A = this chain, B = another copy of it.
Amino acid sequence: MSKKVTKIGVLTSGGDAPGMNAAIRAVVRTGIYNGLEVYGIMRGYNGMIEDDIFHMDNKSVANIIQRGGTILKTARSKEFMEAAGRQKAYENLRKRGIDGLVVIGGDGSFRGAQRFSNEFDIPCIGLPGTIDKDIAGTDYTIGFDTAVNTAVEAIDKIRDTADAHDRLFVVEVMGRDAGYIALHSGLATGAESVLIPETRTDVEDLISGLTEKEKRKKLVNLVVVAEGDEMGGGSEIGKILKNRLPNMDIRISILGHIQRGGAPSCQDRIIASRMGYHAVESLLSGRHNVMVGIVDDKMHYIPLDTAVKEKQAFTSDWLKIIKILAS
């Protein structure tokens, strides 16, 4: 039987995502409400190793639910991948009596947590925080909804100028391994084509589609590319199209890091709050070393070590719908 948790640490790790602050707030306040002491750990696992840990109360998380970024900062930690680093980290927890951990981050962060928990018997709970939405065991990840809305608003602006000049824009959105941001933002902005890592890009098909639309004098032409598409990102695709379609006025836009920031959307704040609440409930109820997800709008728990990156099998009809609706 697992011993009772009394003091917990919370940290954000890996790439930042809007809504992480809402998750931190939920963990801290639910912890305190349940009589736990809560500690903030700075810069992911680095703060554990470097002993950058501080006591948090209800006020520590006041007025942050609406803020982008993370008040605990975040980082990837090389040292934590080595046994010596994890040992140091453990000692810094032990000297404060911290006996539970909530890790907000991606699959890499979860693997680290699992290993740490195996070695030192500190139960860990993972919350999926990544704008890329490519984690198994949950329908939502914290930050995705904000990131796609940021992408959509940016592409809406690009539409205005594309339309005014009758230009074709190739827009690159984030997504090194996953095409979710591209797929959602492309469908939502009426792109002709969406190029993603999950499917093979058929350049001839793309070109013949654009040529046909050119002939019909369609108003706005957008191609949305995930940065990790197997043919290359926006710059590569743009180069190919310019080469093959020399009579078109083609421009390239790389949306970049704006997709990581900004006030979180309503949905990201809500799932972060719910997940944070249930992370503490899990620690208290002895459901340890799990990732807290939401599936079909119900809380869902999977062992931390199975929370790997996943290419969700999005219904293949999305690409078909995109094509038909852009006609």
Contacts and interface: CB of A to CB of B under 8 A. Distances in A.
B270 A187 contact: yes
Contacts of A297: 139, 296
A261 B220 contact: no
Nearest to A158: B257
A256 interface: yes
B257 A66 contact: no
B266 A185 contact: yes
Contacts of A273: 187-188, 321, 325
Nearest to A323: B33
Interface string A252-269: 011111111111011101
Interface string A170-193: 000000000000001101111000
Contacts of A187: 269-270, 273
A257 B16 contact: no
Interface in A57-96: 58-59, 62-63, 65-70, 73-75
A130 interface: no
Interface size of A as a range: 35 or more
A20 B62 CA distance: 20
Given A33-B327, A73-B164, A190 B256 contact: no
A119 interface: no
Interface in A31-68: 32-33, 43, 58-59, 62-63, 65-68
A165 B15 CA distance: 8
A87 to B, nearest CB: 25
- Report the copy number of this chain in the oligomer: 4
Contact of A29 (B67, B159, B327): B327
Contacts of A26: 321, 325
Nearest to A59: B219
Contact of A157 (B68, B158, B169): B68
Interface stretch (A142-150, A195-203, A223-231): A142-150
Contacts of A219: 59, 62-63
Given A157-B261, A262-B157, A327 B169 contact: no
Nearest to A34: B324
Interface string A1-37: 0000000000010001010101001100110110000
Contact of A267 (B62, B63, B145, B258): B145
Contact of A261 (B161, B218, B255): B161
B158 A58 contact: no
A160 interface: yes
A248 to B, nearest CB: 14
25 contacts: A12-B164, A16-B165, A25-B325, A29-B325, A43-B166, A58-B327, A59-B219, A62-B219, A62-B220, A65-B188, A66-B189, A145-B267, A149-B149, A150-B157, A151-B266, A152-B269, A156-B261, A158-B257, A160-B260, A162-B257, A169-B257, A185-B266, A188-B269, A189-B269, A274-B321
Q: 4 closest pairs, A vs B, by CB?
A: A157-B261, A160-B261, A68-B160, A69-B160
